[in-house]
Amino acid sequence: MKKPIIPINTNTIYSVSILTVLLLTFFSCSSAPKKPLEVLTDRNMAASQLDLANRTANQGRYNDALLILEDAWVTAVSVDDPGLLIKCSLSRGNILFSMGRHDEAFSNWDYAQKEGENAGIVNLVSQARIARARGQLVLLMAGSSGIADPAAVEAIKVEVRAALSAMKSDPMGEASGNLVLGMAEKELARYPEAEYIVRRALEIHEKNRYLEEAAYDWYLIASIRSVSGSYNRAAEALRTAISFDRRAENGFGLASSWQALGDVYLKMGNASDAEAAYKRAAGIFEALGLPVLAEKIRAKPGL
């Protein structure tokens, strides 16, 4: 007996086939991760290395910071990212300047400014200009007997203000510029103006919870007050700096503030408190693996 022949509707088969393909395509596409618009893996790694280098430098470990920064630089070069290249150069300049390698520092800041101009990154150009101005001011202060040449200090202020005016929505850059302006006013013996300007930077740092930066602001305020002869208020500012550095676990800042507090106590004629502050500072430097700085403090007369 012949089996009945079932008529085949080719249109139905075609429709089912198309539907199957569409369903497979739909489900395979919906389950697969979408391609990112931009790959940031290496740039994020370089940014993390840069952050680590800056934190290491803040601890006074400048050689270690340079080694970390070299890795960040190589990565930045490999992805040809102008912003990262500029930030690496700015940080390297800051570290080298702290090590006393001033010519190399200015070369890095000059590179950062030129690269920023070529890339059209206005805020980083301004940051480079402020870094150069800060370096010039520090060298001017170090080479002066008494008060530095007022005209040279005023010229630095003009440069910083021009850099600040070119910035666009850069609170940290603004704070950096205000610190340089505050240092300039201090050098010109305009102490109330100096503290007022530094407090503008402090407001930014406290608002954004930059604890280490806020501690340094208070350290600078203490320096202004100490130079003006207001020792009690200088000691108060240093105790505030210490509280911020404790919150940030910033050992180098803590040791520096304790040492400065010892200096202030000596000016106040309080030898016992000065000795206690110096010993505290030396102990912290020792714990940080910076015995040279600890020995400098212990070499002070009476310790």
How many degrees, rounded to 5, is the angle at CA 204 between CA 50 and CA 235? 100
Mean predicted lDDT score pLDDT of the chain: 89
Domain 209-303 belongs to what topology?
A: 1.25.40
Place of tokens 């520092």: 105
Please write the tens of the pLDDT for every residue from 157-215: 999 999 999 999 999 999 999 999 999 999 999 999 999 999 999 999 999 999 999 99
Please write the tens of the pLDDT for every residue from 206-243: 999 999 999 999 999 999 999 999 999 999 999 999 99
Please write the tens of the pLDDT for every residue from 96-111: 999 999 999 999 999 9
Long-range contacts for 278-282 (Cβ within 8 Å, ≥24 apart)? 278/303, 279/303, 281/255, 281/256, 282/255
pLDDT value for 254: 97
Average pLDDT (138-159) is 86
Average pLDDT (273-301) is 94
Answer yes or no: pTM beyond 0.95: no
Q: Which of the two residues, 54 and 2, has the higher pLDDT score?
A: 54
Q: What percent of the chain has pLDDT over 70?
A: 86
pLDDT value for 37: 72
Q: Which of the two residues, 17 and 238, has the higher pLDDT score?
A: 238
pLDDT value for 1: 47
Q: 145: pLDDT confidence band, cut at 50, 70 and 90?
A: low
